[in-house]
């Protein structure tokens, strides 16, 4: 089982990178959030999940072990495969997803293409107790404060995309707790 790789990025494809490690290239599928942060010839390390199927041998890469743990928890849910789990991880940070699940809020998960209300509710139901076992890392992918799904929905109703709304809410001062004020501050950042 390949669980960790460190090397240079030699190629960026559609949803994956090729990582050169000791003159061997590994194709590693990654989330869109991580993909945008990477550049060619960048030295990087990945915690990996290796999927073995009858017709494929795939690697999925993550920046931290916390991300990998969440990915594996998502895979434990019936109806969630590696692609869906990566899609879940691309809509928000690990801490935001954990918070959403621990609050019992399935609305964030329904934003993922291919995950309906019932599947999102099943994810929340099955992972709510397990999610407390994950330790949030103190790296970049664990420190933002995603707005509630109501705040995101309000900004989306005004014509902003999900990623624009999420980014604007992430840039609002964490000390502001009132949803109305958070939306006003996000609108100022968007405007």
Report how far residue 28's alpha carbon sits from residue 3's, in angstroms, rounded to the nearest whole number.
Answer: 12
Beta carbons of 95 and 143 less than 8 angstroms apart: yes
- pLDDT score recorded for residue 149: 64
The pLDDT tens digits of the residues spanning 100-137 come to: 888 788 888 888 888 888 888 888 888 887 775 544 44
**What is the Rg, in whole angstroms, of the alpha carbon atoms belonging to the chain?**
17
Residue intervals of the chain classified under CATH 1.10.8 are: 145-190
- pLDDT score recorded for residue 140: 37
- pLDDT score recorded for residue 148: 62
- Which residues in the chain come in under a pLDDT of 70? 132-149
The answer to whether the pTM exceeds 0.75 is no
- pLDDT score recorded for residue 183: 86
- pLDDT score recorded for residue 132: 56
Q: Which CATH class is domain 4-62?
A: mainly beta
Q: Which CATH class is domain 145-190?
A: mainly alpha
**Architecture of the domain whose range is 65-133:** Orthogonal Bundle (1.10)
Give 21's strand partners: 24
19: its two tokens: 């990582």
Residue intervals of the chain classified under CATH 1.10.150.20 are: 65-133
- pLDDT score recorded for residue 100: 83
Phi, psi of 39 (to 5 degrees): -135, 160
Residue intervals of the chain classified under CATH 2.40.50.140 are: 4-62
């Amino acid at each position: 089982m390949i669980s960790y790789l460190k090397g240079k990025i030699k190629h960026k494809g559609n949803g994956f990178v090729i990582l050169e490690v000791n003159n061997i290239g590994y194709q590693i599928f990654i989330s869109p959030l991580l993909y945008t942060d990477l550049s060619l010839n960048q030295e990087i390390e990945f915690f990996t999940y290796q999927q073995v199927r009858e017709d494929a041998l795939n690697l999925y890469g993550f920046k931290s072990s916390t991300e990998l743990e969440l990915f594996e928890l998502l895979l434990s849910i019936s109806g969630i495969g590696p692609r869906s789990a990566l899609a879940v991880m691309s809509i928000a940070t690990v801490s935001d997803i954990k918070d959403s699940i621990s609050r019992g809020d399935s609305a964030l998960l329904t934003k993922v293409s291919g995950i309906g209300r019932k599947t999102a509710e099943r994810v929340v139901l099955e992972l709510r107790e397990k999610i407390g076992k994950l330790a949030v890392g103190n790296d970049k992918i664990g420190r933002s404060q995603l707005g509630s799904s109501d705040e995101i929905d309000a900004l989306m109703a005004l014509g902003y995309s999900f990623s624009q709304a999420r980014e604007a809410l992430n840039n609002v001062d964490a000390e502001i707790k009132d949803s109305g004020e958070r939306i006003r501050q996000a609108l100022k950042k968007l405007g």
